[in-house]
Amino acid sequence: MPASSPARHEGSRAGRRRWELRFGSIRGIPIRIHVTLLLFFVWISVTYWIAGLGPRGTITGVLLLALVFVTIVLHELTHALVAHRFGVRTRDILLLPIGGIASLERIPERPLQELAIALAGPAFNLGVALLLWAGLGIAGSDLALSTASRGEAFALQLMWINVALAVFNLIPAFPLDGGRALRALLSRAMGRERATAIAAGIGQGVAVLLGLVGLTYNPWLVLIAVFLWFAARSELAMVRLRAALAGVPASAAMLGRVDVVRADESLAIAAGLLVHHGGAAIPVVLNGATVAALTREDIAAGIDVAGPEAPVAAAPHHQVVTIAPTEPLDRVLDRLGSDAAIAVVVDHDVPIGLVTAEQLASYVALHPRA
């Protein structure tokens, strides 16, 4: 399930990622594992053991589960590789007990590109299932679990799990791949905002049904339902925000009167400049280039750890993107992510303003569309 995710705040990296473990990278895309997934593996292992499967059965079950998550990584990587062909970067892939999320930098501009990205993941799962089916056929298996050997049973289960992953993801409900495919098709006739509203509405309806079924049969489905509900709502809010910002220049929403501080200057100087003008943040420059931004919280954290005379480089910081005053705010939103990065508006290499995701939301609230 490809999904947008916020840019990461360096100052709160420990807070945001203390539950995530980096598990290497593929094609430059970081793979992260949420610690709850490791706890999930432990829980599954204990469940198998209590069920009387013994050491061999428990190891086999956990190995099958591990291969399922390898498949999920490859599913998300397939989304990422197709997105890359259309110039859309993937920030990272995060694995959770309920599956994986490829965090795309933005939604492709062309609906058919989004359609191709959305369908790539389920197509991969169906391809894996087809290969396993062919391999079992060549091996002479009758594809029945009741008569299969241990190895055949393992391959059969993995085959059907891939079929299930493909079918589930093709449900036309946002944020599943099928919902994204539905939005792509609808966008050609009615625009992305309306298409997203329809796909998100279907997604929330599916979430309710899934939650009700989960309350009766499997509590795990309730967790998936909660994720679907909030993911659909979040995507609709982001698309509406982006539509409201389309074509509006960055200069219309920026905070002006910006001071800058050099990376080798002290935190006390940075604090004084920020307090003097009452700004939201202060850009940090190194060799004439804007490399970061400090908020009040960043400066306070740096002073608390290193003291007021420590250089600003010792403090936590926000990532920045530099933009022109005329850059449309919807493009700025894409570059910011959705929460913590800060855009520095630069005119002739001189910082003249700041734009944050919070400011963009405030701008829309103060300038509602007709």
* pLDDT, tens digit (0-9, with 9 covering 90-100), for 20-45: 788 888 888 888 888 888 888 888 88
Amino acid, single-letter form, for residue 17? R
Residues 96-141: pLDDT tens digits?
A: 887 888 888 788 888 999 999 999 999 999 999 999 999 888 887 7
Contact 178, 172 (CB under 8 A): yes
> How much is the pLDDT for 39?
84
Query: Which of 93-107, 197-211, 296-310 tops mean pLDDT?
Result: 197-211
> How much is the pLDDT for 17?
60
pLDDT range class, residue 337, cuts 50, 70, 90: low
Whole-angstrom Cα distance, residue 344 to residue 119?
A: 36
Per-residue pLDDT at 341 exceeds 90: no
Annotate 10-55 with DSSP letters as a single string. GGGHHHHHTTEEEEEEETTEEEEEEHHHHHHHHHHHHHHHHTT-HH
Identify the H or E element spanning 90: strand 90-96
Q: What is the mean pLDDT of residues 74-100?
A: 88
> How much is the pLDDT for 18?
66
Contact 186, 199 (CB under 8 A): yes
Q: Could you tell me the maximum CA-CA distance found in the chain, to the nearest angstrom? A: 79
Q: What is the mean pLDDT of residues 2-11?
A: 38
> How much is the pLDDT for 185?
93
> How much is the pLDDT for 370?
56
Give me the residues paired with residue 343 across strands.
Answer: 321, 355
Collapsed DSSP state (helix, strand, coil) of residue 197? helix
- Sign of the alpha-carbon dihedral angle for 356, 360, 361, 366: positive
Per-residue pLDDT at 284 exceeds 60: yes
Give domain limits for the chain.
Answer: 2-170, 250-366
The CATH number of domain 250-366 is 3.10.580.10: yes
Mean of per-residue pLDDT scores for the chain: 82
Whole-angstrom Cα distance, residue 284 to residue 327?
A: 21
Tell me the catalytic residues: 76
Percent of the chain topping pLDDT 70 = 91
Identify the H or E element spanning 353: strand 350-356
Contacts of 262 (CB under 8 A, 6+ apart): 284, 285, 286, 312
Q: Looking at per-residue confidence, does 334 or 197 come out higher?
A: 197
- Quote the pTM value: 0.74
Whole-angstrom Cα distance, residue 142 to residue 150?
A: 14
